[in-house]
Amino acid sequence: MGRRNESPEKKRRRELIRELLKGSPLKDGEDVNALMREMMAEVLEGSLDGELEDELGYTRYDYRNKETDNSRNGFSQKTVRTSYGDMDIDVPRDRKGEFEPKIIAKHQNTLSQDVEAKIISMYAKGMSTADIEEHITDLYGIEISDSTISRITDKILPVVKEWQQRPLCEVYSVVFLDAIHFHVRSEGRIVKKAVYVAIGIDMDGFRDVLGMWIGENESAKFWLSVLNDIKNRGINDILIVCVDGLTGFPNAIEAVFPKAEIQHCIIHQIRNTTKFVSYKDIKELMADLKKVYTAPNEETALYELDAFEEKWHKYPKIAASWKEDWPTLSTYFKYPQEVRTLIYTTNQIENFNRQMRKVTKSKPVFPTDDSLMKILYLAMMDVTKKWTQSRRGWGMIHSQLEIYFADRLN
Protein backbone atom coordinates (compact mmCIF):
# COMPACT_ATOMS: atom_id res chain seq x y z
CA MET A 1 0.00 0.00 0.00
CA GLY A 2 1.34 3.48 -0.91
CA ARG A 3 1.80 6.25 1.62
CA ARG A 4 -1.11 8.66 2.02
CA ASN A 5 -0.85 12.30 0.86
CA GLU A 6 2.70 11.78 -0.44
CA SER A 7 3.74 14.43 -2.96
CA PRO A 8 5.58 13.51 -6.19
CA GLU A 9 8.64 15.38 -4.90
CA LYS A 10 8.66 13.34 -1.68
CA LYS A 11 8.31 10.09 -3.68
CA ARG A 12 11.27 11.08 -5.84
CA ARG A 13 13.42 11.76 -2.77
CA ARG A 14 12.51 8.41 -1.26
CA GLU A 15 13.48 6.63 -4.46
CA LEU A 16 16.84 8.39 -4.50
CA ILE A 17 17.46 7.36 -0.88
CA ARG A 18 16.58 3.72 -1.67
CA GLU A 19 19.00 3.71 -4.61
CA LEU A 20 21.69 5.19 -2.39
CA LEU A 21 21.14 2.58 0.30
CA LYS A 22 21.32 -0.30 -2.20
CA GLY A 23 24.94 0.59 -2.93
CA SER A 24 25.81 1.34 0.70
CA PRO A 25 23.71 -0.80 3.04
CA LEU A 26 23.56 0.43 6.64
CA LYS A 27 24.70 -2.05 9.26
CA ASP A 28 24.48 -0.07 12.49
CA GLY A 29 23.97 3.36 14.05
CA GLU A 30 27.49 4.51 13.14
CA ASP A 31 26.76 3.83 9.48
CA VAL A 32 23.63 5.98 9.76
CA ASN A 33 25.63 8.82 11.34
CA ALA A 34 28.34 8.54 8.68
CA LEU A 35 25.76 8.70 5.91
CA MET A 36 24.07 11.70 7.50
CA ARG A 37 27.41 13.50 7.81
CA GLU A 38 28.19 12.88 4.15
CA MET A 39 24.76 14.09 3.06
CA MET A 40 24.98 17.19 5.24
CA ALA A 41 28.49 17.94 3.97
CA GLU A 42 27.30 17.68 0.38
CA VAL A 43 24.37 20.01 1.02
CA LEU A 44 26.49 22.56 2.89
CA GLU A 45 29.30 22.60 0.33
CA GLY A 46 26.77 23.04 -2.49
CA SER A 47 25.12 25.90 -0.59
CA LEU A 48 28.47 27.58 0.09
CA ASP A 49 29.41 27.34 -3.59
CA GLY A 50 26.06 28.92 -4.48
CA GLU A 51 26.60 31.76 -2.00
CA LEU A 52 30.04 32.60 -3.45
CA GLU A 53 28.64 32.37 -6.98
CA ASP A 54 25.89 34.87 -6.09
CA GLU A 55 28.42 37.23 -4.53
CA LEU A 56 30.85 37.14 -7.48
CA GLY A 57 28.04 37.37 -10.02
CA TYR A 58 29.23 34.63 -12.36
CA THR A 59 29.32 30.83 -12.40
CA ARG A 60 32.53 28.81 -12.36
CA TYR A 61 34.49 29.14 -15.66
CA ASP A 62 31.87 31.59 -17.03
CA TYR A 63 34.45 34.35 -17.48
CA ARG A 64 32.46 36.08 -20.21
CA ASN A 65 29.93 37.33 -17.65
CA LYS A 66 32.53 38.26 -15.07
CA GLU A 67 32.06 41.90 -14.02
CA THR A 68 34.29 41.98 -10.94
CA ASP A 69 38.03 41.99 -10.27
CA ASN A 70 37.45 39.42 -7.51
CA SER A 71 37.59 35.67 -8.22
CA ARG A 72 37.59 32.20 -6.67
CA ASN A 73 40.68 31.16 -4.74
CA GLY A 74 40.35 27.47 -3.96
CA PHE A 75 39.05 26.05 -0.70
CA SER A 76 39.85 25.87 2.97
CA GLN A 77 38.88 22.89 5.08
CA LYS A 78 36.72 23.32 8.14
CA THR A 79 35.60 20.83 10.77
CA VAL A 80 32.03 21.35 11.91
CA ARG A 81 30.56 19.64 14.94
CA THR A 82 27.09 18.19 14.51
CA SER A 83 24.79 15.90 16.45
CA TYR A 84 25.98 13.14 14.07
CA GLY A 85 29.67 13.72 14.87
CA ASP A 86 32.45 15.88 13.44
CA MET A 87 32.16 16.66 9.74
CA ASP A 88 34.84 18.03 7.38
CA ILE A 89 33.67 20.43 4.67
CA ASP A 90 35.43 22.46 1.97
CA VAL A 91 34.67 26.17 2.24
CA PRO A 92 35.24 28.16 -0.98
CA ARG A 93 37.44 31.25 -0.80
CA ASP A 94 37.65 34.41 -2.85
CA ARG A 95 40.83 36.22 -3.86
CA LYS A 96 40.05 39.40 -1.86
CA GLY A 97 38.86 37.62 1.28
CA GLU A 98 35.53 39.47 1.19
CA PHE A 99 33.28 36.39 1.10
CA GLU A 100 31.15 36.11 4.28
CA PRO A 101 29.25 32.78 4.24
CA LYS A 102 25.75 32.83 5.71
CA ILE A 103 24.83 29.16 6.09
CA ILE A 104 28.03 28.47 8.06
CA ALA A 105 29.53 31.75 9.29
CA LYS A 106 33.30 32.26 9.29
CA HIS A 107 33.82 31.57 12.97
CA GLN A 108 30.98 29.09 13.38
CA ASN A 109 32.22 25.59 14.14
CA THR A 110 29.04 23.85 15.23
CA LEU A 111 25.57 23.35 13.84
CA SER A 112 24.27 23.32 17.40
CA GLN A 113 24.43 27.11 17.54
CA ASP A 114 20.89 27.33 16.18
CA VAL A 115 19.83 25.08 19.08
CA GLU A 116 21.45 27.48 21.52
CA ALA A 117 19.68 30.40 19.86
CA LYS A 118 16.34 28.60 20.26
CA ILE A 119 17.07 27.87 23.94
CA ILE A 120 17.96 31.51 24.64
CA SER A 121 14.86 32.69 22.79
CA MET A 122 12.58 30.38 24.80
CA TYR A 123 14.33 31.38 28.04
CA ALA A 124 13.69 35.04 27.17
CA LYS A 125 9.97 34.30 26.80
CA GLY A 126 9.90 32.99 30.38
CA MET A 127 9.51 29.30 29.54
CA SER A 128 10.39 26.90 32.33
CA THR A 129 13.44 24.63 32.06
CA ALA A 130 11.19 21.57 31.75
CA ASP A 131 9.27 23.16 28.85
CA ILE A 132 12.51 24.11 27.10
CA GLU A 133 13.82 20.55 27.45
CA GLU A 134 10.60 19.17 25.98
CA HIS A 135 10.56 21.59 23.05
CA ILE A 136 14.21 20.96 22.15
CA THR A 137 13.58 17.22 22.20
CA ASP A 138 10.55 17.66 19.93
CA LEU A 139 12.36 20.01 17.54
CA TYR A 140 15.78 18.38 17.30
CA GLY A 141 15.41 14.93 18.82
CA ILE A 142 18.16 15.61 21.37
CA GLU A 143 17.95 15.61 25.14
CA ILE A 144 19.41 18.41 27.25
CA SER A 145 19.75 18.84 31.00
CA ASP A 146 19.09 21.73 33.37
CA SER A 147 22.83 22.31 33.67
CA THR A 148 23.19 22.49 29.87
CA ILE A 149 20.44 25.11 29.63
CA SER A 150 22.10 27.07 32.42
CA ARG A 151 25.49 26.84 30.69
CA ILE A 152 24.03 28.08 27.39
CA THR A 153 22.13 30.98 28.95
CA ASP A 154 25.20 31.91 31.04
CA LYS A 155 26.77 33.06 27.77
CA ILE A 156 24.47 36.08 28.12
CA LEU A 157 26.16 37.28 31.33
CA PRO A 158 29.21 38.96 29.71
CA VAL A 159 26.82 40.67 27.29
CA VAL A 160 24.71 41.87 30.23
CA LYS A 161 27.81 43.25 31.96
CA GLU A 162 28.86 45.11 28.82
CA TRP A 163 25.33 46.52 28.40
CA GLN A 164 25.20 47.62 32.04
CA GLN A 165 28.49 49.51 31.64
CA ARG A 166 27.84 51.14 28.26
CA PRO A 167 28.16 54.94 27.92
CA LEU A 168 24.97 57.01 28.13
CA CYS A 169 23.86 60.35 26.67
CA GLU A 170 25.04 63.56 28.33
CA VAL A 171 21.51 64.92 28.85
CA TYR A 172 18.14 63.19 29.31
CA SER A 173 14.89 65.09 29.22
CA VAL A 174 13.13 62.71 31.63
CA VAL A 175 14.27 59.70 33.65
CA PHE A 176 11.79 57.37 35.35
CA LEU A 177 12.95 55.41 38.40
CA ASP A 178 11.11 52.47 39.95
CA ALA A 179 11.79 49.05 41.47
CA ILE A 180 10.30 45.61 40.90
CA HIS A 181 10.60 42.80 43.45
CA PHE A 182 11.47 39.09 43.09
CA HIS A 183 12.27 36.16 45.34
CA VAL A 184 15.84 34.84 45.11
CA ARG A 185 17.67 32.09 47.02
CA SER A 186 20.52 33.46 49.09
CA GLU A 187 22.65 31.43 51.50
CA GLY A 188 20.09 28.67 51.83
CA ARG A 189 17.04 30.86 52.31
CA ILE A 190 14.58 32.73 50.09
CA VAL A 191 14.83 36.51 50.25
CA LYS A 192 12.92 39.29 48.54
CA LYS A 193 15.15 41.40 46.35
CA ALA A 194 14.53 44.65 44.50
CA VAL A 195 15.52 45.19 40.90
CA TYR A 196 16.10 48.90 40.41
CA VAL A 197 15.12 50.07 36.92
CA ALA A 198 15.89 53.37 35.21
CA ILE A 199 14.28 54.35 31.90
CA GLY A 200 15.34 57.55 30.18
CA ILE A 201 13.92 59.65 27.37
CA ASP A 202 16.71 61.41 25.50
CA MET A 203 16.50 64.82 23.90
CA ASP A 204 15.32 63.26 20.63
CA GLY A 205 12.34 61.64 22.37
CA PHE A 206 13.56 58.04 22.29
CA ARG A 207 13.20 55.70 25.28
CA ASP A 208 16.04 53.57 26.61
CA VAL A 209 16.51 51.31 29.63
CA LEU A 210 19.55 52.88 31.27
CA GLY A 211 20.18 49.91 33.51
CA MET A 212 18.87 47.32 35.97
CA TRP A 213 20.48 46.75 39.36
CA ILE A 214 19.73 44.04 41.97
CA GLY A 215 19.68 45.05 45.64
CA GLU A 216 18.50 43.53 48.92
CA ASN A 217 15.50 45.87 49.26
CA GLU A 218 14.38 49.21 47.92
CA SER A 219 16.08 52.08 49.72
CA ALA A 220 17.13 55.66 49.05
CA LYS A 221 20.73 54.64 49.80
CA PHE A 222 20.78 52.07 47.00
CA TRP A 223 19.10 54.53 44.64
CA LEU A 224 21.98 56.90 45.41
CA SER A 225 24.44 54.27 44.13
CA VAL A 226 22.28 53.78 41.00
CA LEU A 227 22.27 57.51 40.28
CA ASN A 228 26.03 57.69 40.78
CA ASP A 229 26.46 54.78 38.36
CA ILE A 230 24.53 56.43 35.53
CA LYS A 231 26.38 59.71 36.21
CA ASN A 232 29.72 57.92 35.94
CA ARG A 233 28.58 56.48 32.60
CA GLY A 234 28.28 59.91 31.06
CA ILE A 235 25.04 61.62 32.17
CA ASN A 236 25.75 65.23 33.11
CA ASP A 237 22.18 66.43 33.55
CA ILE A 238 18.60 65.18 33.81
CA LEU A 239 15.90 67.80 33.34
CA ILE A 240 13.08 65.97 35.18
CA VAL A 241 13.17 62.81 37.31
CA CYS A 242 9.90 60.93 37.93
CA VAL A 243 9.75 58.73 41.03
CA ASP A 244 7.36 57.05 43.44
CA GLY A 245 6.96 58.21 47.03
CA LEU A 246 9.94 56.42 48.61
CA THR A 247 11.23 58.33 51.63
CA GLY A 248 14.57 59.97 50.97
CA PHE A 249 14.28 59.74 47.19
CA PRO A 250 14.45 63.52 46.53
CA ASN A 251 17.57 63.85 48.72
CA ALA A 252 19.31 61.04 46.81
CA ILE A 253 18.51 62.69 43.46
CA GLU A 254 19.58 66.16 44.59
CA ALA A 255 22.91 64.76 45.82
CA VAL A 256 23.83 63.54 42.33
CA PHE A 257 21.80 65.74 39.96
CA PRO A 258 21.17 68.93 41.96
CA LYS A 259 19.49 70.79 39.09
CA ALA A 260 16.99 68.04 38.24
CA GLU A 261 13.29 68.78 38.74
CA ILE A 262 11.60 66.00 40.76
CA GLN A 263 8.07 64.81 40.04
CA HIS A 264 6.42 62.52 42.57
CA CYS A 265 4.12 60.09 40.73
CA ILE A 266 0.51 61.24 41.17
CA ILE A 267 -0.87 57.73 40.64
CA HIS A 268 1.35 56.33 43.41
CA GLN A 269 0.21 59.10 45.72
CA ILE A 270 -3.46 58.40 45.00
CA ARG A 271 -3.03 54.66 45.64
CA ASN A 272 -1.05 55.14 48.84
CA THR A 273 -3.42 57.70 50.39
CA THR A 274 -6.78 56.16 49.48
CA LYS A 275 -6.23 52.45 50.14
CA PHE A 276 -8.06 52.56 53.51
CA VAL A 277 -11.04 54.64 52.36
CA SER A 278 -14.42 53.03 52.90
CA TYR A 279 -16.02 51.53 49.80
CA LYS A 280 -19.13 53.69 50.19
CA ASP A 281 -17.00 56.87 50.21
CA ILE A 282 -14.41 56.05 47.56
CA LYS A 283 -16.28 57.21 44.45
CA GLU A 284 -17.19 60.66 45.82
CA LEU A 285 -13.80 61.10 47.51
CA MET A 286 -11.94 60.28 44.29
CA ALA A 287 -14.04 62.79 42.35
CA ASP A 288 -13.06 65.53 44.83
CA LEU A 289 -9.40 64.48 44.81
CA LYS A 290 -9.38 64.58 41.01
CA LYS A 291 -10.18 68.32 41.21
CA VAL A 292 -6.81 68.71 42.94
CA TYR A 293 -4.48 66.93 40.52
CA THR A 294 -6.31 67.98 37.32
CA ALA A 295 -6.46 71.67 38.27
CA PRO A 296 -5.29 74.08 35.54
CA ASN A 297 -2.63 75.60 37.82
CA GLU A 298 -1.03 75.20 41.22
CA GLU A 299 -3.03 77.97 42.87
CA THR A 300 -6.33 76.31 41.95
CA ALA A 301 -4.96 72.92 43.02
CA LEU A 302 -4.10 74.20 46.50
CA TYR A 303 -7.58 75.76 46.80
CA GLU A 304 -9.18 72.42 45.90
CA LEU A 305 -6.88 70.60 48.34
CA ASP A 306 -8.04 72.87 51.19
CA ALA A 307 -11.66 72.24 50.19
CA PHE A 308 -10.97 68.50 50.13
CA GLU A 309 -9.40 68.61 53.60
CA GLU A 310 -12.39 70.48 55.03
CA LYS A 311 -14.96 68.12 53.49
CA TRP A 312 -13.12 64.84 54.22
CA HIS A 313 -11.92 65.53 57.75
CA LYS A 314 -12.84 61.92 58.60
CA TYR A 315 -9.75 60.93 56.56
CA PRO A 316 -7.25 63.54 57.85
CA LYS A 317 -4.13 61.67 56.69
CA ILE A 318 -4.98 62.04 52.99
CA ALA A 319 -4.79 65.84 52.78
CA ALA A 320 -1.91 65.87 55.29
CA SER A 321 0.13 63.51 53.10
CA TRP A 322 -0.55 65.54 49.95
CA LYS A 323 0.49 68.77 51.69
CA GLU A 324 3.63 67.17 53.10
CA ASP A 325 4.74 65.96 49.65
CA TRP A 326 3.41 68.98 47.73
CA PRO A 327 6.84 70.33 46.65
CA THR A 328 7.44 67.22 44.52
CA LEU A 329 3.77 66.44 43.74
CA SER A 330 3.16 69.87 42.22
CA THR A 331 6.17 70.07 39.88
CA TYR A 332 4.13 69.30 36.78
CA PHE A 333 1.91 72.37 37.26
CA LYS A 334 4.81 74.47 35.91
CA TYR A 335 4.49 72.99 32.46
CA PRO A 336 1.95 72.90 29.61
CA GLN A 337 -0.33 69.91 29.10
CA GLU A 338 2.02 68.05 26.72
CA VAL A 339 4.81 67.94 29.31
CA ARG A 340 2.39 67.28 32.19
CA THR A 341 1.06 64.18 30.45
CA LEU A 342 4.61 62.90 30.09
CA ILE A 343 5.75 63.33 33.69
CA TYR A 344 2.81 63.26 36.12
CA THR A 345 2.96 59.46 36.44
CA THR A 346 5.58 56.72 36.23
CA ASN A 347 3.32 54.64 33.96
CA GLN A 348 6.15 54.49 31.41
CA ILE A 349 8.26 52.37 33.74
CA GLU A 350 5.35 50.55 35.37
CA ASN A 351 4.26 49.22 31.97
CA PHE A 352 7.80 47.97 31.44
CA ASN A 353 7.85 46.29 34.87
CA ARG A 354 4.50 44.69 34.11
CA GLN A 355 5.99 43.04 31.04
CA MET A 356 8.97 41.84 33.11
CA ARG A 357 6.58 40.22 35.60
CA LYS A 358 4.71 38.55 32.75
CA VAL A 359 7.90 36.86 31.58
CA THR A 360 9.05 35.84 35.06
CA LYS A 361 5.72 34.60 36.44
CA SER A 362 6.64 30.94 35.76
CA LYS A 363 9.64 31.29 38.11
CA PRO A 364 8.42 32.06 41.64
CA VAL A 365 11.97 31.76 43.02
CA PHE A 366 15.28 32.35 41.24
CA PRO A 367 18.30 30.28 42.31
CA THR A 368 20.79 33.18 41.98
CA ASP A 369 21.02 36.87 41.17
CA ASP A 370 22.64 35.93 37.85
CA SER A 371 19.69 33.74 36.84
CA LEU A 372 17.32 36.63 37.58
CA MET A 373 19.43 39.13 35.65
CA LYS A 374 19.71 36.81 32.64
CA ILE A 375 15.97 36.52 32.13
CA LEU A 376 15.34 40.22 32.84
CA TYR A 377 17.98 41.26 30.30
CA LEU A 378 16.62 38.92 27.61
CA ALA A 379 13.04 40.03 28.31
CA MET A 380 14.17 43.68 28.22
CA MET A 381 15.82 43.18 24.83
CA ASP A 382 12.62 41.58 23.53
CA VAL A 383 10.47 44.47 24.78
CA THR A 384 12.71 47.34 23.71
CA LYS A 385 13.22 46.11 20.14
CA LYS A 386 9.82 47.74 19.50
CA TRP A 387 11.02 51.11 20.85
CA THR A 388 11.95 52.38 17.42
CA GLN A 389 10.05 55.67 17.34
CA SER A 390 10.24 58.84 19.38
CA ARG A 391 7.38 59.74 21.69
CA ARG A 392 4.28 60.99 19.90
CA GLY A 393 4.16 64.77 19.77
CA TRP A 394 7.83 65.07 20.73
CA GLY A 395 8.34 68.17 18.60
CA MET A 396 5.93 70.15 20.80
CA ILE A 397 7.38 68.71 24.03
CA HIS A 398 10.95 69.46 22.94
CA SER A 399 10.07 73.04 22.09
CA GLN A 400 8.55 73.54 25.54
CA LEU A 401 11.57 71.99 27.29
CA GLU A 402 13.93 74.21 25.31
CA ILE A 403 12.12 77.25 26.69
CA TYR A 404 11.87 76.08 30.31
CA PHE A 405 15.44 74.76 30.45
CA ALA A 406 17.15 77.22 28.11
CA ASP A 407 20.00 77.81 30.57
CA ARG A 408 20.80 74.08 30.71
CA LEU A 409 20.49 73.12 27.05
CA ASN A 410 22.90 74.01 24.27
pLDDT attached to residue 363? 84
**Which regions of 72-206 does DSSP assign to beta strands (E)?**
72-82, 85-94, 171-186, 189-202
**Residue 69: DSSP 8-state:** S
Residues 6+ apart with CB under 8 A from 175: 198, 199, 200, 201, 210, 230, 238, 240, 241, 242
Coil, helix or strand at residue 240: strand
CA angle 304, 310, 316 (to 5 degrees): 105
What predicted TM-score, i.e. pTM, was given to this entire model?
Answer: 0.70
Torsion angle defined by CA atoms of residues 373, 376, 381 and 383, in that order, rounded to the nearest 10 degrees: -170
Distances (CA, A) of 29 to 32, 35, 138: 5, 10, 20
Rounded to whole angstroms, the Cα distance separating 292 from 3 reads 75
The pLDDT tens digits along the chain (410 residues) read: 445 555 666 566 666 666 666 666 666 667 666 776 776 777 677 777 877 887 777 676 666 666 777 878 888 888 877 666 677 888 888 888 888 877 677 777 665 556 677 777 787 777 777 777 777 776 655 667 777 777 777 878 888 999 999 999 999 999 999 999 999 998 889 999 999 999 999 999 999 999 999 998 888 899 999 999 999 999 999 999 999 878 888 899 999 999 999 999 999 999 999 999 999 999 999 999 999 999 999 999 999 999 999 999 999 999 999 999 999 999 999 999 999 999 998 888 989 999 999 888 888 899 899 989 999 998 999 899 889 999 989 999 999 999 999 999 87
pLDDT attached to residue 8? 66
